Structure formats: C-alpha cells, structure tokens
C-alpha cells in the first residue's frame, strides 16, 4: 500500500487552521510552518507564545497529588526565564514546554545540575581558601547526594583521592522537574546585534563600528513573577550504603535543598544567567502559605478518593445485586411451564386498577383473555410476577362480594360485588370454576 506524501505547503496550511496545536510541537517542530511568512521572526515567536496551555486545574495534581515523602518548595521568578533555548527548529528560539499540558517547565536534570554546581562552587572556594578538611567533607557529601562521577574533572579526582567511592554510584536524591504553580505568561524577548560582521570574524570589520545594520533575534521567555514548585525525593540507591561523612543521621535532602536554593537564587537557571535571566527568590512566608495549600489539597484529594471509592463500592454492590437477581430470575423461569410463561406475560403489566376494569368488562373480552383470567384466579400462580398484587385485589373484592351477596340493597351500591359477580357468571358460562 502506497503512503501518500505531503508537501511543506500542505502541512503548513493544516497547521494554520489548527487552533489546538500542541504548544510543545509548535515550538520544537513546526515553528517555521506557523501562520507567518518566512523571515518574520517576531511574528513567528508571538504566534508561538500565544499558544495556550491546558487550564491549571488539569495539571495541578502533578504538584499536589504526589507521594507524601516528596519534599516541595515554591520559588518566585525574579527575571525572565529561558530553558532549552537551542532545542528548536528555530535557531535559539525554543522553550521547554510540556508535551501534553503545554506549560513551560524546568527539567529535573537542569534542576540537579544547578544544585550540584552550587555545591561545587563552595567546594572550589574551600580549596582556593585552603580549607582542606571542609573541602573533603563537601566532596564526600556531593558524591553521596548527587552521585559519582559529578562531571567536574577536578572534583571527581579529589573524590577519588579522598577515598569516598570505589566506583560509579547513583545519587540518593531524585530531582523532579520544576513546574509552574499557575498558568504563566510567555513573552517575546530580543537580542539585537549591532556588530554582526565583527562578531562573526569578518576580516573587513576588524573593529566594531556603528555602520552595520542591526539584526534582531527574537526568542520566547517565561515572564517575571511566575511561581515555580521544585520537588526532591530521597531514593534508595547505591550511595545509601556509604557512611555520611560527619556521622549521625543522614541529611542528603537538607544538603540538596541548601544548594538548590543557593543555585536558584544566586546563580540562576537556564540560558543567559550571566545577563540576569533565570533568577528566583525563596520566601519563607510564601512557603508557609504553599505548605498550607498542600495540606488542604491533600485533605481534599483524600475526600475525593474516598467519595469515589464509596461510589464504586455502591456500583459494585448494585452490579452484584443485579447479577444475583438475573440468576434468580433465570432459575425461576426455568421452573415455569410454557402456559405459566404465557400467563405471566399477560398479568405482569397489569396493575390492580386495570385488572378491576377487566373484571368489570369481562363479558366484552375475547375468550382467550377470559380463560387466562379464570385460570389465574382459580390456580393462584403466586410465583408469577405481579401475581400477589392482583390476587390481593381479587381477595379484597371477593370478601366484599361475600358480605353483600345476600343483601340486594347493598349489591346495587357495591362495585366490588358487581365485578366479582361478572367474573363468576362468565366463568360458569365457559364451564370453568373459580
């Protein structure tokens, strides 16, 4: 079977009319095909930044419905944020967007890298300031918390010299992705090179002069003020069998948080941190409010789960009851004769009022219908559906009949007497006894 191929123009036309195109796909794969002409960089980036993420309620469970042993802290972005800028078909114009929910996020590998680099900076300061014992303790903690090798050549060599590890080990802390605690705003940012030929090494421009044409480069960024939640979790890995350098209770989680806070608030995260991008603030009051929300959301989630469990339990019980009733009904029908089945089909839809009406007008009914009524009243058939209700109605009328059958004056006023007498008279005519 031949597979139809599509031209770039055809794909572009489809994307132009696709209002719910995944923001992640729009940034990383289809940016050049957006509904703008080639070369219109600003419009292209504006088109991408206007792609909407899913509503916050759809993905906040990724923060609030996580395991209890996960440790969470909330930070506020103090400048614009750029993550995974080079990962797009548009050069240096990407943003790390969740492929399903469409919100920008910071990969766990980047979060871990920031914390580890902050710890490395302190270790390097200890080495530069000739504090060997402190440097050794730091190196040991870095290896146990973040794993070994660390990726820093001198630090790895020192760790080996210290005898901390005897081979590669995994870290004891898992670093989760940093995700926004709200729907965040994306903005169009710009780099405007005034000396393009000079920076490119053009021999005709040995000096940076002001006679070149500026070339603006547009790229997306997360706007300042966004709140991001970072999550760490202890995990059982190879490093757990190592002794914590200072003895006593292990505190890798506190160690990881210390340097993650340092890295996010001082060094920043993502691209262009030297220019002030990617800097966060950690506020104790905001953290307290966040912890309270976490507690409330956890309680609400427990109630929701319990409510859902009870609903499922009711459904299960109802389903079990239905299956038992169906089984009992099947067994009951298997015991009925063909005549009984036909009689049940006749009486099942009747109610006492409609049955009384048939008794009143029994003389006008077809013989087959009369015989069914006479057979039902004479033999009982209490095991048939609806039989008991109709029998009770008949018994009530028959009791009234017996009371007034010797009193002509009361007979004219008794509807029950007339109904029963009509039935008995018709049964006698057809040679049937009730």
Q: What is the pLDDT of residue 16?
A: 62
Flag whether pLDDT at 267 surpasses 90: yes
390: Cβ contacts below 8 Å, ≥ 6 apart? 347, 350, 352, 355, 376
Please write the tens of the pLDDT for every residue from 210-241.
888 887 888 889 999 999 999 999 986 555 66
Q: What is the pLDDT of residue 253?
A: 92
Question: Residue ranges of the alpha helices (H) in 348-366?
Answer: 352-360
What percentage of the chain has pLDDT greater than the value 70?
A: 86
Flag whether pLDDT at 104 surpasses 70: yes
Range of lowest pLDDT (46-60, 377-391, 416-430):
46-60
DSSP for 40-92? -HHHHHHHHHTPPPPPHHHHTHHHHTS-TT-EEEEEEESS-B--STTSSSSTT
Flag whether pLDDT at 364 surpasses 60: yes
Residues 347 and 264 in one domain: no
Residues 60 and 141 in one domain: yes
Q: What is the pLDDT of residue 39?
A: 39
Residue 216: φ, ψ to 5°: -70, 140
Model confidence at 338, pLDDT cuts 50, 70, 90, reads confident
Residues 272 and 406 in one domain: no
Residues 254 and 161 in one domain: yes
Range of lowest pLDDT (286-300, 308-322, 381-395):
381-395
Which tokens sit at 11? 């794909």
What percentage of the chain has pLDDT greater than the value 90?
A: 36
Q: Which residue has the higher pLDDT, 56 or 275?
A: 275
Domain edge (last residue) among 240, 262, 282: 282
Q: Average pLDDT for residues 285-293, to the nearest whole number?
A: 94
Residues 232 and 344 in one domain: no
**Residue (of 379, 378, 390, 401) closest to 353 by Cα position:** 390
Residue 225: φ, ψ to 5°: 100, -10
Cα R_g (the chain), whole angstroms:
41
CB 173 within 8 A of CB 253: yes
Flag whether pLDDT at 34 surpasses 60: no
Flag whether pLDDT at 9 surpasses 90: no
**Residue (of 219, 273, 270) closest to 49 by Cα position:** 219
Question: Residue ranges of the alpha helices (H) in 147-275?
Answer: 153-162, 196-199, 252-262
Model confidence at 18, pLDDT cuts 50, 70, 90, reads low
Half-sphere exposure of 188 (CA within 13 A, CB side): 14
Residue-range definition of the domain harbouring residue 146? 53-195+219-282
Residues 274 and 382 in one domain: no
Question: Residue ranges of the alpha helices (H) in 163-283?
Answer: 196-199, 252-262
Residues 356 and 425 in one domain: yes
Residues 95 and 225 in one domain: yes
Domain edge (last residue) among 282, 297, 321: 282
Q: What is the pLDDT of residue 388?
A: 86
Q: How far, in Å, CA of 36 to CA of 43, rounded? A: 7
CB 74 within 8 A of CB 287: yes
Q: Average pLDDT for residues 148-175, to the nearest whole number?
A: 86
Q: How far, in Å, CA of 177 to CA of 231, rounded? A: 7
Range of lowest pLDDT (25-29, 72-76, 205-209, 333-337):
25-29
Residues 234 and 365 in one domain: no
Q: Is pTM beyond 0.75 here?
A: no
**Maximum mean pLDDT: which of 44-58, 228-242, 254-268:** 254-268
Q: What is the pLDDT of residue 218?
A: 84
Q: Average pLDDT for residues 356-370, to the nearest whole number?
A: 91
Domain edge (last residue) among 267, 282, 297: 282
Q: Which residue has the higher pLDDT, 426 or 37?
A: 426
Domains identified in the chain, total number = 2
DSSP 267: I
Q: Average pLDDT for residues 125-146, to the nearest whole number?
A: 91
**Interior CA angle at 228 toward 80 and 256, to 5°?**
110
- CB contact burial 129-168 (16+ within 10 A = b; e otherwise): eeeeeebbbbbbbbbbbbbbbbebeebbebbeebebbeee
For residue 81, what are the β-bridge partners? 222
Residue 409 lies in a domain: yes
Residues 357 and 276 in one domain: no
- CB contact burial 382-392 (16+ within 10 A = b; e otherwise): eebebbeebbe
CB 83 within 8 A of CB 221: no
User: Quick count: other Cβ atoms within 10 Å of Cβ 319?
Assistant: 10
Flag whether pLDDT at 65 surpasses 70: yes
Residue 112 lies in a domain: yes
CA distances to 210, 308, 316, 324, 366 from 321, in Å? 86, 20, 8, 5, 40
Q: What is the pLDDT of residue 212?
A: 80
Q: How far, in Å, CA of 297 to CA of 289, rounded? A: 12
How many distinct helices (H) and strands (E) make up the chain?
A: 17, 9
Q: What is the pLDDT of residue 266?
A: 96
Flag whether pLDDT at 38 surpasses 60: no
DSSP 212: S
Q: How far, in Å, CA of 248 to CA of 254, rounded? A: 14
- CB contact burial 280-316 (16+ within 10 A = b; e otherwise): bebeeeeeeebeeebeeeeeeeeeeeeeeeeeeeeee
Residues 384 and 266 in one domain: no
Model confidence at 52, pLDDT cuts 50, 70, 90, reads confident
Q: Report the sign of the C-alpha dihedral through residues 48, 50, 56, 57, in that order.
A: negative
Please write the tens of the pLDDT for every residue from 80-98.
999 887 766 666 677 888 8
Q: Average pLDDT for residues 109-135, to the nearest whole number?
A: 94
Q: How far, in Å, CA of 61 to CA of 184, rounded? A: 17
Average pLDDT, the chain: 84
Q: Which residue has the higher pLDDT, 79 or 337?
A: 79
**Residue (of 402, 403, 397) closest to 419 by Cα position:** 397
Task: Give residue for tokens 């195109």.
Answer: 21
Q: What is the pLDDT of residue 201?
A: 81
Residues 110 and 223 in one domain: yes
Please write the tens of the pLDDT for every residue from 376-405.
888 766 677 788 888 889 999 999 999 988
């Amino acid at each position: 079977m031949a597979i139809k191929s599509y031209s770039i123009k055809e794909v572009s036309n489809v994307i132009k009319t696709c209002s719910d195109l995944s923001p992640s796909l729009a940034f990383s794969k289809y940016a050049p095909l957006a509904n703008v002409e080639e070369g219109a960089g600003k419009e292209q980036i504006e088109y991408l930044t206007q792609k909407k993420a899913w509503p916050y309620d759809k993905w906040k469970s990724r923060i609030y419905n996580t395991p209890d042993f996960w440790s969470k802290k909330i930070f506020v972005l103090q400048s614009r944020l750029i993550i995974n800028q080079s990962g797009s078909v548009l050069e240096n114009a990407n943003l790390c967007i969740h492929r399903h929910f469409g919100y920008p996020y910071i990969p766990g590998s980047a979060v871990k890298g920031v914390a580890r680099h902050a710890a490395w900076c302190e270790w390097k300061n200890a080495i530069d300031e000739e504090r060997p014992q402190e440097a050794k303790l730091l190196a040991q903690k870095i290896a146990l918390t973040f794993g070994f090798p660390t990726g820093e050549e001198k630090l790895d060599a020192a760790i080996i010299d210290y005898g901390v590890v005897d081979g590669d080990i995994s870290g004891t802390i898992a670093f989760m992705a940093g995700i926004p605690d709200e729907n965040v705003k994306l903005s169009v940012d710009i780099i405007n090179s005034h000396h393009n030929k000079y920076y490119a090494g053009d021999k005709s421009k040995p000096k940076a002069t002001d006679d070149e044409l500026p070339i603006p480069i547009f790229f997306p960024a997360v706007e300042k003020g966004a709140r991001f939640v970072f999550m760490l979790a202890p995990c059982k890995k190879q490093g757990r069998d190592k002794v914590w350098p200072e003895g006593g209770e292990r505190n890798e989680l506190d160690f990881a948080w210390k340097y993650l806070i340092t890295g996010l608030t001082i060094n920043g995260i993502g691209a262009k941190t030297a220019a002030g991008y990617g800097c966060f603030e950690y506020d104790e009051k905001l953290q307290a409010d966040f912890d309270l929300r976490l507690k409330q959301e956890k309680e609400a989630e427990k109630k929701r789960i319990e409510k859902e469990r009870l609903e499922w339990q009711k459904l299960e019980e109802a389903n079990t009851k239905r299956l038992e009733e169906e089984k009992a009904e099947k067994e009951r029908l298997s015991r009925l004769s063909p005549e009984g089945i036909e009689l049940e089909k006749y009486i099942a839809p009747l109610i006492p009022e409609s049955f009384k009406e048939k008794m009143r007008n029994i003389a006008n009914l077809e013989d087959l219908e009369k015989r069914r009524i006479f057979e039902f009243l004479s033999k009982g058939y209490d095991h048939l559906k609806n039989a008991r209700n109709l029998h009770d109605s008949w018994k009530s009328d028959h009791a009234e009949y017996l009371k007034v059958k010797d009193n002509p004056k009361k007979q004219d006023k008794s509807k029950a007497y007339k109904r029963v007498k009509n039935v008995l008279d018709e049964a006698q005519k057809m040679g049937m006894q009730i």
